[in-house]
Amino acid sequence: MSKLFSLAGRVALITGGNSGIGRELAFAFRDAGAQVAIGARRAQRNAEVVAALGGDASGYELDVTDEASVERAVAGVLARYGRLDILVNNAGTVNRVSVMELERSAWDRVMNTNLTGPFLCTKHAARVMKKQGSGKIVNVSSVLGLIAPSMGLQVPYTVSKHGVIALTKVNAVELAPLGIQVNAVAPGYFLTEMTAELSGSRIEQAIKRRTPDGRIGDTADLVGTCLYLASSASDHVTGQCIAVDGGYLVSDGLDRG
């Protein structure tokens, strides 16, 4: 049974891998036996995480919105390890602005990072995986890829995360005959650098009341699901989106206070 979930002998590239969910998954995949490469924009932060990972871990200065940068990172992974078995499209960003005030540049920044980025990374990683005859792609969406926030405001984030689920489905259909599975996870509310302002806020309390298990998620809560989707345990699973949200989405939304 343990072989089903082992990543021994596999190479994983995790975008946005120097903080938050990406960092958590980098250490988890390492512990499961993978050789881990992280890709993110902050070179110094990358170096710190690579040093902490130890072993044969590596880091790449990666801007997922820049196709040349994506190509360099994938080529670097291939040159170092000779293969690429797992891609986690985790890099993301957010803004919270009314649609009436949202600047086009802000829209483009979020959409380019959250949706165009996974497209570009999948494009170049899948080319490598096709030659191998196998691969796993895990896209990080959000519960806001399935519903809308109660106050609106997170316009490009919500649209982009819906798009990530569509990207997952269409790529799953195309790539399945090549031995590549493409799935997504939809995290609920997690306290990370990107959501730090929620800590102690009225919104955090409202989220906890709606969530049946009564708490905000910890990045470690995503490890089991992502490990499943990255391992042989999910070889006949593709095109799916698994919510990791403490029951947030299945609640009717009425105040539980």
pLDDT at 232: 98
**Does residue 155 lie in a domain region?**
yes
**Does residue 205 lie in a domain region?**
yes
Please pick, among 157, 189, 228, 248, the residue that the annotation labels catalytic. Answer: 157
Report pLDDT digits (tens) over 152-195: 889 999 999 999 999 999 999 999 999 999 999 999 998 877 77
pLDDT at 152: 84
- Cα–Cα distances (Å) from 190 to 178, 244, 246, in that order, read 34, 10, 11
Is pLDDT above 80 for 198? no
Report pLDDT digits (tens) over 17-54: 999 999 999 999 999 999 999 999 999 999 999 999 99
Is pLDDT above 90 for 70? yes
Local structure of 179: helix, strand or coil:
coil
Distance CA 248, CA 110 (A): 24
81: annotated active-site residue: no
| Structural domain count, the chain | 1
- Residue 22: how many CB atoms within 10 A of its CB? 24
Range in 10-19, 132-141, 192-201 the model is least confident about: 192-201
**Does residue 158 lie in a domain region?**
yes
Q: For residue 20, what are the domain limits?
A: 2-248
Tell me which H or E stretch contains 241: strand 241-244
pTM > 0.85: yes
Residue 52 maps to which CATH number?
3.40.50.720
User: Phi/psi at 185 (nearest 5 deg)?
Assistant: -115, 145
pLDDT at 194: 72
| Mean pLDDT estimate for the chain | 95
**Does residue 28 lie in a domain region?**
yes
**Does residue 254 lie in a domain region?**
no
DSSP type of residue 257 = -
Is pLDDT above 90 for 199? no
**Does residue 257 lie in a domain region?**
no
**Does residue 108 lie in a domain region?**
yes
**Does residue 40 lie in a domain region?**
yes
